[in-house]
Structure 1
Amino acid sequence: MLNIEVITGGMFCGKTTLLQKKIREAQKVEYFKTYVFKPSTDNRYSESSVVSHDGVEEDAIAVRHGMQIVHYVMQDELVSPEHKKVVFIDEAQFFDKILENVIQRLVILGCDVVIAGLDLDSNGRPFGGMPSAIAMATKIHKLTARCKCGNESYVTTNKNKKGIVQVGNEGYEPTCIKCFYNN
């Protein structure tokens, strides 16, 4: 059975940390060939690694467009037929609507796919291709952080420039639904 696994939630909830754990677990399996991708626009901590907020790094391939992931996996001829390809994608919300096609093509190639990304933008609206990824998923992890009021946070608030999506951590904070809508 092929798997499409999605790790989602607001900022600072541990999405990348869980993705990294899954990467390390897959790398230990002898017959798994792992691929780790991230959007090249996300260069907060590194241009060539998936980096958690606490500084843990996993090597990654930065791509500008989601279909580059499919081409990279297709062109890897060094993988023997008995290997299972497992594709990990961090910050998948930045691949926009093309993410649905990327997932479909990877599954056709026989890959398991594990995606991490924000499900909502700082305006509380579905973000990029993540709604499609969530709908296609065979397994979903919806993670939460803590709002300053103590409730679980499901949304990320941009304190500085409401309405503008920025790559970075400054000015963003985890927010519960009540605090989000009270602002």
Structure 2
Amino acid sequence: MLNIEVITGGMFCGKTTLLQKKIREAERVKFFKTYVFKPSTDNRYSESAVVSHDGDEIEAIAVRHGMQIVHHVINDSLTAPEHKKVVFIDEAQFFDAILVNVIQRLVANGCDVVIAGLDLDSNGRPFGGMPSAMAMATKIHKLTARCKCGNESYVTANKDKKSTVQVGNEGYEPTCIKCFYN
């Protein structure tokens, strides 16, 4: 069975930490060949690693465009035929609508796909290709953090209101629905 797994939620809810756990689990399976990708625009902590907020990191391939993921995985001639390819993508919301095509091409070539990314932008609107990825998923992990009022947060508020998309952690905070709309 092929899997499309999505890890989503607002900032600071543990998406990257869960993705890293799944990467390490897959790396322990003898017949899995793992690939880890991130958008090159996400250079907050590292140019070439998926890094959680607590500093844990796993080496990754930074790509400018989502289809680079497909070409890299499909054209990998060093993978033994008996290996199952498992593709991990962090910060997937930055690949926009192309994310659906990336997932479809990878699955059509026999890969399992696990992606992590924000489902909503700081205006509370669906973010990039994540809503479509969630619709295609065989499994979804919707994670939450805590709002300053104590409720579970589902949205990431932009305290500075500079722009909808800013790479980085500064100026963002986990927010519950009530606080977000107040």
- For normalisation by structure 1, the TM-score amounts to 0.98
Q: Percent identity?
A: 87
Q: Which residue of 2 aligns with 1:161?
A: 161
Deviations 1:42-92 (A, max 9, x none): 000000000000000000000000000000001100111110000000000
Question: What CA distance in whole angstroms lies between the structure 1 residues aligned with 2:84 and 2:164?
Answer: 40
Secondary structure in 1 matching 2:165: coil
Shift of 1:165: 1.0
Distance 1:164 1:180 in 2: 14
> Shift of residue 39 of structure 1?
0.1
The equivalent of 1:138 in structure 2 is: 138
User: What's the counterpart of residue 48 of structure 2?
Assistant: 48
Please report the RMSD computed on the Cα atoms of aligned residues, expressed in angstroms: 0.6
1:77 corresponds to which residue? Answer: 77
Alpha-carbon distance between aligned partners in 2 of 1:161 and 1:40, rounded to the nearest angstrom? 24
Quote the offset at 1:162 in angstroms.
5.0
Q: Secondary structure at the match of 1:149?
A: coil
Contact kept in structure 2, 1:37 and 1:90, CA below 8 Å: yes
Distance in 1 between the 2:165 and 2:104 partners?
27
* C-alpha distance after superposition, 1:78-114 (max 9, x if no partner): 1111100000000000000000000000001100000
**Code of the aligned partner of 1:180:** F
SS in 2 for 1:115: strand
Q: Show structure 1 runs of 4+ deviating over 6 A.
A: none
Number of equivalences: 182
Give the stretch that moved more between structures: 158-167 or 134-143: 158-167
- Aligned residue type for 1:37: F
What is the rounded CA distance, in whole Å, between the counterparts of 1:74 and 1:52 in structure 2? Answer: 28
Gaps of 5+ in 1: none
C-alpha separation in 1, matches of 2:81 and 2:171: 47
1:125 — aligned with what? 125
Matches within 5 A, 1:98-117: 98-117=98-117
Secondary structure, counterpart of 1:53 in structure 2 = coil
- Aligned equivalent of 1:179: 179
Q: TM-score, normalised by structure 2?
A: 0.99
Task: Note the residue ranges of structure 2 that are not aligned, 5 or more in a row.
Answer: none
Q: Structure 1 residue 161: deviation in Å?
A: 1.9
Give the Cα separation in 1 of the matches to 2:162 and 2:129: 21
Q: Check the 8 A contact 1:97/1:128 in 2, yes or no.
A: yes
